[in-house]
Amino acid sequence: MGRVKLRVDTEEPVIRHRRADKAHRRDLAGPDPIVRIGIMEEYDRIEFSVDDIFDIIALNGNVVASGIRSDAQWYVAPYETEEARAIYSILTTAFADRDSADELRKRLASEGHPARIAEIGDEVCIDGRVVADNVKYRVLIGRWPTEKEAKSALEPFRDEFAPRVIRQIVRPATGIIDVKDNNFDWSFQIQDGFRIVPRSHNCPVMLYDVREGTGFHWEREVDRQYPGIIEIRIDHRALLMAYTEVPLETYLKGVVPSEMPASYPLEALKAQAIAARSEVLAKMGAKHPNDPFDLCAHVHCQAYSGCTHHDPRSSQAVEETRGQVLILHNMVAEAVYSSTCGGHSEDKVNVWNPPDAPHLKGKWDAPEGQTFSSIASDTYPLDLTSEKHVAQWIASKPKVWCNVEAHPDLPLILTRAMDNFRWEVSFSRRELEDIIKRKSGEDIGQLLDIIPIRRGISGRLMEIEIQGTKKNLRIQRELNIRAALSQRYLKSACFVLDIEYSAESRPVNFILKGAGWGHGVGMCQVGAGVMAAQGKKVEDILKHYYPGTKIDKVY
């Protein structure tokens, strides 16, 4: 299947009719659609093995070697490579329709900013039926040859947008790849990349030392088995990448137990399967527009561990929901999720760029009609964008779905989520100064304070100012805040800060008290588990977390 290409528009975009453009249409035919999942990127060496007969095929379709029988470990390394050429631009925001994007482009251009529109994403069809229109129109500013130059121009756009620098590939990387086995029976040099094609559909490919959880506390390297075809090629940095081409339902059997413990109640696993399937179809072409794959195998998209952790219970959930997705306005709906919302979910638009989604609005994670007057009787209803109210909220333990302490007789696996509902971490001033310097690349001097500027509807911080003796830093976006204040990532951006001072009134320790784990948008996985344990069906769970959607079978 062909690579999805990103078209970089000129200053004056050419308006065209979306549905007539077959180049941006992805047709998924047959009883089990094929998806492409990125597994490895920026590796200077990839090792693999196959326990059955396989072929090696070049990217141009030529057979390099046929009928290989080798139980040896194979080594792949780049040789005589050239990096991709890219331009770097400032992404201000994105829209679902081109007219809105063009209106902003014209306004920015009138203010002296060289704005343009870049179209990403695909219209996804299954057996001739359009099931998702994932086309987005990004409003971009400038073209810089380096990321550093682009970042230096961000400041004027921070007040109106949550801008970030993006990369657009204008010339792909190229080079020779060395391939050989450790018995020296086979040795090849292949241009740009190749495919490992097992003869048997039941034969997985083993990839060694696969990085997972990069940046998070569970970061590690593991050996993984992956079903389907594996493609290895030169990546943008002239190193190596690997992705798999695999049937969607097979992919989901590796996603569900990676994203939710397989010992969760079955109805929760079924909700997870439908959400994960919906996410694939609703994001195809839009998450990795520079890459030859649809989604990655990491938390950026959905965690995928191949067939290494297949489990009968999670596989049953996938099989019993085969082809089922969430539908909103006759299209597959986004169905993002996170571990523990902390009692209140967040608006999608507060965490990621627009366009907004009506079914991904923040709400209390509790049965319909439950009030929270017992938490703050004098201030009900709680406003979690308020510093006073969010402090009350974090100090409380309301009877919401993801508060496992509030629900008796739960399976043991659910009670293990107790520490994610409310949490506390502390740093010495010097420790936090070092983290901020390492993460931001800025020397703020002595850390004085961290000021909350804006919170989302769940109390999650969307903007903060870090104050230091040398300079102040303003940080936007929920994930950036979590990254800037921890060696890995804070569990969530819903936190309040206590500072302990010395006798000389200097900050000594910074104590963060928080709620939840993850971005908080969409389904709360622990909440879904508790709902299922208390007898709720998959329809009840998905209706609660994605209001306005319905379940439909699209293949």
**Where among 328, 345, 379 does a domain terminate?**
328
Asked if residue 410 lies in contact with residue 428, where contact means CB atoms within 8 angstroms, the answer is: no
Same domain, 36 and 184: yes
533, part of any domain: no
Residue 232 and residue 242 share a domain: yes
What span, in angstroms and rounded, lies between the C-alpha atoms of 8 and 40? 26
Give me the pLDDT at residue 8, please.
Answer: 34
Residues 360 and 397 in one domain: yes
Which string of DSSP letters, residue by residue, matches 66-84?
EEE---S-EEEEEEEEEPP
Q: H or E segment at 412?
A: helix 412-415
Q: Which of 417, 266, 262 is nearest to 338 (CA)?
A: 417
Smallest CA-to-CA distance from 417 within 524, 508, 490 is with 524
Give Cα 138 to chain centroid, integer Å: 18
Closest CA to 348 of 334, 369, 364: 334
CATH number, position 114: 3.30.70.1070
Could you tell me which of 39, 121, 97, 93 has the C-alpha nearest to residue 288? 121
Does residue 273 sit within a domain? yes
Query: How much is the pLDDT for 218?
Result: 66
Vertex 100, ends 95 and 101: CA angle to 5°? 60
**Co-location of 45 and 89 in the same domain:** no
Q: Do 323 and 211 belong to one domain? A: yes
User: Is there a domain that residue 536 lies in?
Assistant: no
Per-residue pLDDT of the chain (555 residues; tens, 9 = 90+): 332 233 333 333 333 333 434 456 788 866 789 999 999 999 999 999 999 999 999 999 999 999 999 889 999 999 999 999 999 999 999 999 999 999 999 999 999 999 999 999 989 999 888 999 999 999 999 999 999 999 999 989 988 888 999 999 999 999 999 999 998 889 999 999 999 999 998 899 999 999 987 666 667 889 999 999 999 999 999 999 999 999 999 999 999 999 999 999 999 999 999 999 999 999 998 899 989 999 999 988 999 999 988 999 999 999 999 999 999 999 999 999 999 999 999 999 999 877 789 999 999 999 877 766 544 444 457 899 999 999 999 999 999 999 999 999 999 999 999 999 999 999 999 999 999 999 998 999 999 999 999 999 999 999 999 999 999 999 999 999 999 999 989 999 999 999 999 999 999 999 999 999 999 999 999 999 999 999 999 999 999 999 999 999 999
Distance from CA of residue 515 to its chain's centroid? 20
Q: Do residues 149 and 258 both lie within one domain?
A: no
Out of 299, 328, 357, a domain closes at 328
**Angle at the Cα of 378 (from 375 to 382), degrees rounded to 5?**
55
Beta strand spans in 16-59 (E): 25-28, 34-43, 46-50, 54-58
Q: Please spell the DSSP secondary structure of 213-230, one letter per residue.
A: STTSTT-EEEEEEE-SEE
Number of structural domains found in the chain: 3
Q: Which domain holds residue 350?
A: 336-520
H or E stretch at 241: strand 240-247
Instruction: Answer for the pair 40, 78: CB distance below 8 angstroms, yes or no.
Output: no
Residues 316 and 299 in one domain: yes
Q: Is residue 128 part of a domain?
A: no
Q: Is residue 545 part of a domain?
A: no
Q: Give dist(CA 261, CA 259) in Å, integer.
A: 7
In angstroms, the CA 8 to CA 430 distance is 45
| Ramachandran sector of residue 142 (left: φ over 0; alpha: ψ -120 to 50; beta: rest) | left
**Do residue 300 and residue 429 come from a single domain?**
no
Verify that 63 and 194 share a domain, yes or no. Answer: yes
Three-class DSSP category at 251: helix
Helix (H, G, I), strand (E, B) or coil at 91: strand
Query: Do the Cβ atoms of 466 and 484 come closer than 8 Å?
Result: yes
Q: Are 398 and 366 spatial neighbours (Cβ–Cβ below 8 Å)?
A: yes
Q: Of the candidates 246, 244, 348, which has an alpha carbon nearest to the alpha carbon of residue 296?
A: 244
Tell me the C-alpha distance between 34 and 23, whole Å: 18
- Are residues 322 and 192 part of one domain? yes
- The dihedral sign for the CA sequence 139, 142, 147, 149: negative
Q: What is the pLDDT of residue 12?
A: 34
Rg over CA atoms, the chain: 24
DSSP letter for 517, please.
B
User: Residue 212: its pLDDT value, please?
Assistant: 85
Whole-number Cα distances in Å, 227 to 37, 56, 357 = 11, 16, 34
Domain for residue 3, yes or no?
A: no
Q: Identify whether 18 is part of a domain.
A: no
**Distance between CA atoms of 31 and 323, rounded to whole angstroms?**
9
Task: Name residue, tokens 């293990």.
Answer: 416
Looking at the fold, whether 423 and 351 belong to one and the same domain comes out as yes
Q: Are 299 and 323 in the same domain? A: yes
Structure tokens at 34: 């094929």
CA angle at 392 for the pair 390 and 394, rounded to the nearest 5°: 70
Would you say 473 and 437 are in contact if contact means Cβ atoms under 8 Å apart? Answer: no
- Out of 328, 351, 383, a domain closes at 328
Position 288 in a domain: yes
Question: From CA 365, how far away is CA 407, in angstroms rounded?
Answer: 14
Longest dimension (CA), the chain: 78
To which H or E segment does residue 532 belong?
A: helix 525-533
